[in-house]
Amino acid sequence: MSIIIIPARMGSTRFPGKPLANILGKPMIERVWHIATAVPSASRVVVATDDIHLKNKVEGFGGEAQLTSSDCKTGTDRVAEAARLMGYTDGIFINLQGDAPLTPPSLIEEMIQVMVQDPLVPMATAACLADGMQGTKVVFDKKNNALYFSKAEIPHHRNSDEKKIYRHIGLYAYRFATLQKLSSLEESPLEKAEKLEQLRALENGISIKVVTFDLSGKKQASVDYLEDIAIVEEILLQEKFPPMGLFRSSICR
């Protein structure tokens, strides 16, 4: 059983009301929801929010939403609470951020399969070759287990000819027990220093499998600020991203 939960918060300090930002005529949260419902192995897709207005909007376009506490500090905390409130005690949970309208459904499916095929993997995330892109970087060992995440350029290559840097994609898969444990842990020192919640897992001995994928020349971007909307719209138009109506839903209704 694989459940995709999309944490979405209307009260973002950097971009208030972000989930309902208009992207080529549709709210961003609706675009992300359509991506999630196109994942073949997803048995359920739920938007987790503390805002009743957003919940009503999601239900208005045919989605499912779960109200959560306004006290959730991170997306992981919101996903963990939503999973508990829905009565789950087991399963694989995907944290698909509500500001990631360019996420390929195939990548989400690949992460689910990594978890299904190896029951010992407690948590997984995604990365691609940076190719000059900004964002969080990740380094991992020969078995693709994460070693560290940072906003800094890691590793530091003394020989630029050998430069190979992976950009972290903020997409996570967890087993129920791992998700609940992470949510119960205090913010860790490295997490505080880097402002990266995934470091809490590493500092507490929870391994993270890194699923690498090839962008095949396509661009990736998330929406952190209002000005990012124009960037995402340009990418959608240039790369002929499938219109929402062409995403074939895998969710039985």
Q: CA–CA separation, 43 vs 108, rounded Å?
A: 13
Domain assignment of residue 225, yes or no: no
The sign of the dihedral angle between the CA atoms of 102, 178, 71, 85 is positive
Domain assignment of residue 12, yes or no: yes
Q: 98-118, pLDDT tens digit by residue?
A: 999 999 999 999 999 999 999
Question: What is the reported pTM?
Answer: 0.90
Better-scored residue on pLDDT, 20 or 164: 20
Domain assignment of residue 252, yes or no: no
Domain assignment of residue 253, yes or no: no
pLDDT for residue 243:
56
Taking a C-beta distance cutoff of 8 angstroms, is the pair 212, 152 a contact?
Answer: no
Mean pLDDT of 65-74: 92
Asked whether the predicted pLDDT for residue 209 surpasses 70, the reply is yes
Domain assignment of residue 224, yes or no: no
The domain spanning residue 87 has which CATH number? 3.90.550.10
pLDDT for residue 248:
44
pLDDT for residue 249:
44
Domain assignment of residue 226, yes or no: no
- What's the first-to-final CA gap in the chain, in angstroms? 16
Q: CA–CA separation, 105 vs 35, rounded Å?
A: 6
Q: 139-185, pLDDT tens digit by residue?
A: 999 999 999 999 998 988 877 667 789 999 999 999 999 999 999 99
DSSP string, 20-85: G-EETTEEHHHHHHHHHHT-TT-SEEEEEES-HHHHHHHHHTT--EEE--TT--SHHHHHHHHHHH
b/e per residue 114-129 (b: at least 16 CB within 10 A): bbeeeeebbbbbbbbe
pLDDT for residue 252:
37
**Local confidence band at 238 (pLDDT 50, 70, 90 cut-offs):** confident
**Local confidence band at 14 (pLDDT 50, 70, 90 cut-offs):** confident
Domain assignment of residue 228, yes or no: no
H-run or E-run covering 4:
strand 2-7
In sequence order, the β-bridge partners of residue 96 are 171
pLDDT for residue 133:
60
How many structural domains does the chain have? 1
Domain assignment of residue 162, yes or no: yes
For residue 2, what are its two tokens? 């694989």
In sequence order, the β-bridge partners of residue 55 are none
For residue 115, what are its two tokens? 């978890």
* Structural domain boundaries enclosing 121: 2-219+233-246
